[in-house]
Amino acid sequence: MPQVPDDVKQQRFERFLALQQEISEAMLQGKVGKEINVLIDEIDAENEEAVARSPWDAPEIDGNVFIPGATHLKPGDMVKVRIVEAEEYDLVGELV
């Protein structure tokens, strides 16, 4: 059986990724305005933000919740945030 040419494989892969990004962003847009509890994973001092994850996110697999200006928090803290922005794979929240 003949194989699909590499360039066709790449085109199909790129179309799949683009569609997946659209779906992810649309799902995350539905979270804007909602308040959720998040677990702080790390503090990014360079970008002056806390990096967290929501209860439905697996570490190192799913997107993050970024909390600008929340450098006073520490890893392991649980805090409530209001989601103010959705990106392709990540959310931005503000402390409530």
Q: Which of 91, 39, 42, 27 is nearest to 64 (CA)?
A: 91
All domains in the chain, ordered by first residue: 6-95 (2.40.50.140)
**18-44 tens-digit pLDDT:** 998 888 888 889 999 999 999 999 999
- Beta-carbon contacts of residue 53 (< 8 Å; ≥ 6 apart): 38, 39, 41, 59, 62, 64, 65
In this structure, of 6-10, 55-59, 86-90, 92-96, the range with the lowest mean pLDDT score is 55-59
Q: Is residue 12 over pLDDT 90? A: yes
Q: With 0.85 as the threshold, say if the pTM is over it.
A: no
- Phi-psi label, residue 3: left if phi above 0, alpha if psi -120 to 50, beta otherwise: beta
pLDDT at 60: 79
Strand 65-68 relative to strand 91-95, pairing: parallel
